[in-house]
Structure 1
Amino acid sequence: MRQRFFIGALVSLLLTAIPARAEVKLAYVDVQRALNECDAGKKAKGEFQGRVETLESRLQRQQNEVQSLKDEIEKKGMLMNPDQRQSLQDQYVAKLKNFERDYKDSKDELQRKDNEITAKIVHDLAQVIRTIGERDGYTMVMEKGSILWGTPAIDVTDQLIRSYNQMHVQIGTLGESTRGGVGLGGGGVTRSSAEQAGARPPSDFGSAATKRSTISK
């Protein structure tokens, strides 16, 4: 909440610094909704769900094997000779460790992949937002989650989604090169005047970008 008040105060200071005769034109975007509803986000979500189902099936088989060994030890362990019981116990411990390790590694890998794909799509959205802002003469384009209130009339999220979908580019590649770049209606995006002047293009919307998710929302 303090961050939102800080951003609001910063916006107020920026606006007061603009000459009185200058037109102030503001807009905002819902980045999480854009992630969820853009074609790239939907594709990533579908691929993620398929990967999850495959992993769940494999982990379930491992868990069943572990449980089967545990049941055998509990039911027949006392009837076995010490060597047989120890051998079965060793198998159980080994399979349990393998299951726990595989579970953790799989979970970490899914999270890493989620973060990687999300970061690439957010990078592209940032490039499209910059182009929309410069083309349509916006003084500032803010993120919905960072403002206290904004009229729906200045929400350009739908425009952002449509523009990004029309590009049909490999995710994470917008803004990498000026070669073959075209406007918002084509297969790429030209570098902005700010980028041509040496300004660093936005790769995300700050540290909060890493907390978003394309595929787990």
Structure 2
Amino acid sequence: MQLRNQWLILTMLTVFLTAGSALGADVAKIGVVEFQRLFENSDAGKEIKAEITEKGKKMEAELKEKGAEIEELKKRLEREALVMSKEMREEKEREFRIKVNDIKTLQKKYEAELQGIQKRLMKDLQEETLEVIDEIGKSGGYLMIMDKRGVLYSPSTIDITDEVIKKFNQRYAKKEKK
């Protein structure tokens, strides 16, 4: 009986202590960040997009130029095919196929190069963004800050993307001045 009373008292004490600490605890502060919006609206993100677009246009112009050369070669081959010997025609057709394959290889190389540039620049942006988010999390007393893509629902009141963009742009401006 005495053991039962002790357990009852211990259980009640545990419940009151747990309930008291739960009621007195601060509300957990949670935030979400939408990285796509950060990329599109931050100064660094806009700069990355512009750089990738510029490089892509240069590569595209070069590919178009080479494509026009191949098209001209094809037309010349079709015009002169009737007056060429069979061996000469086969040689020119082989040269034409080699040039077509060269341009396809160049196109794949450019695509891989652009993807590599984008991946490198985005990695740098993401690392800097995570540092800013870490600062905001610590200074703002957040329990957790998550990527919006992993969240099925969140009220707009916990979206801190605009705050992250603002601090990131401030940090980026200071970095650019140096």
**Mapping 1:13-28, distance limit 5 Å:** 20=22, 21-23=24-26, 24-28=28-32
Answer yes or no: is 1:45 the counterpart of 2:17.
no
Distance in 1, Cα, partners of 2:124 & 2:103: 32
Distance in 2, Cα, partners of 1:98 & 1:67: 14
Q: Which runs of 5+ in 1 are unaligned?
A: 1-18, 170-185, 188-217
Distance in 1, Cα, partners of 2:51 & 2:115: 14
Does 1 or 2 have the higher relative contact order (CA < 8 Å, sep 6+)?
A: 2
Distance in 2, Cα, partners of 1:168 & 1:41: 10
Distance in 2, Cα, partners of 1:50 & 1:168: 21
TM-score (norm: length of structure 2): 0.80
Distance in 1, Cα, partners of 2:60 & 2:147: 36
What is the total number of aligned residue pairs between the two structures? 153
Letter in 2 for 1:114: Q
The C-alpha deviation readout for 1:33-90, integer Å capped at 9, x for no partner, is 1011111110111111111111111000111111222223333313211243133223
Higher normalized helix content (fraction of residues): 2
Distance in 1, Cα, partners of 2:172 & 2:146: 25
Aligned match of 1:163: 167
TM-score (norm: length of structure 1): 0.66
Structure showing greater Rg: 2
The C-alpha deviation readout for 1:176-195, integer Å capped at 9, x for no partner, is xxxxxxxxxx66xxxxxxxx
Answer yes or no: is 1:150 the counterpart of 2:154.
yes
Which of 95, 100, 121 in structure 1 is aligned with 2:99? 95
Instruction: List 4+ stretches of structure 1 deviating above 6 A.
Output: none
The C-alpha deviation readout for 1:98-152, integer Å capped at 9, x for no partner, is 1011000000100111111111101111111011011010111111111111111
Q: Which runs of 5+ in 2 are unaligned?
A: 1-20
Q: Is the 8 A contact 1:39 1:165 kept in 2?
A: yes
